[in-house]
Amino acid sequence: MGWIIAMAGKGGTGKTTVASLIIRGIKEAKAGSILAIDADPNSNLGEVLGLKPGRNIGTILDEISLNPGIVPSGMTKERFIEYQVQSAIQEEDGFDILSMGKPEGPGCYCYVNNVLRSVMAGLIKDYDYIIIDNEAGLEHLSRRTSRYADILIVVSDASKIGLRSAQRINQLALQLKFEVKKRFILINRFKGNIKKTAIGETGLDYLGCLPPDPLIEKLSLNGESIFSLKNKAAILTALNTLGEKIWKHS
């Protein structure tokens, strides 16, 4: 089974940017095959990675739930969903990406969601690394993909509000019985020392911090890919020093 890295954090913390940096780090380290899963309904991960939006799981769920007759004769619904999920994967240079999206139709998705979870459980076995960019809460991840991860990284700023939010996310993960080997907090856009007591209250282990980097803001403003960032960028250097804890697990 692949090494699953699940991302979480309140809006505005730079969670998706950090997820894209991790994908870039694993790719450039040539550590193994990568499946990026954009589990945020806003679906921004692909754009940060420099990709055009493709077909997503939400669309597939709508199509199947509202039009069950589209399943070809001689093919089970389970097999059809599996085929549709496989076709929605975008194969890129050094990584694949699958966008979850969000169903918009009024149909019932209980059955297809259960089948989808089973399909995803099989799919992630085909990759060495699975990076899941989750939305702020973990319910979406729990419903749609897997209730397991090797690492949960909660991205936060250094403010009291941000740290309280990280604490709530961790508590929610526990309530959902989200099985995780390691639970980390990563402080983004911060340069300095942070109180150990403040970190301890979140219930998460301290992974480290990433410095503010004006180059990241410039990329965002210009709509450029994270791969446009130069190798010597401070934030890349900082992230690569954390690689031992994030992806160098063997």
**Distance between CA atoms of residues 62 and 7, nearest Å:** 26
Q: Quickly state the pLDDT bin for 146 (edges 50, 70, 90).
A: low
- Range of weakest confidence among 30-34, 128-132, 183-187, 213-217: 213-217
**Its pTM surpasses 0.85:** yes
Closest CA to 176 of 153, 204, 205, 149: 149
pLDDT score of 109 more than 70: no
Contact predicate 132/39, CB 8 Å:
yes
Contact predicate 115/147, CB 8 Å:
no
**Distance between CA atoms of residues 161 and 163, nearest Å:** 6
For 6-38, how does the pLDDT look when each residue is reduced to its tens digit (9 = 90+)?
999 988 899 999 999 999 999 999 999 999 988
Half-sphere exposure of 221 (CA within 13 A, CB side): 5
- Looking at the structure of the chain, the number of domains it has is 1
Supply the pLDDT for residue 20.
Answer: 96
Domain that holds residue 205: 3-246
**Distance between CA atoms of residues 217 and 117, nearest Å:** 36
- DSSP structure class, residue 89: P
Contact predicate 209/241, CB 8 Å:
no
For the domain that residue 168 is a member of, what is the CATH number?
A: 3.40.50.300
For 150-172, how does the pLDDT look when each residue is reduced to its tens digit (9 = 90+)?
999 999 999 999 999 999 999 98
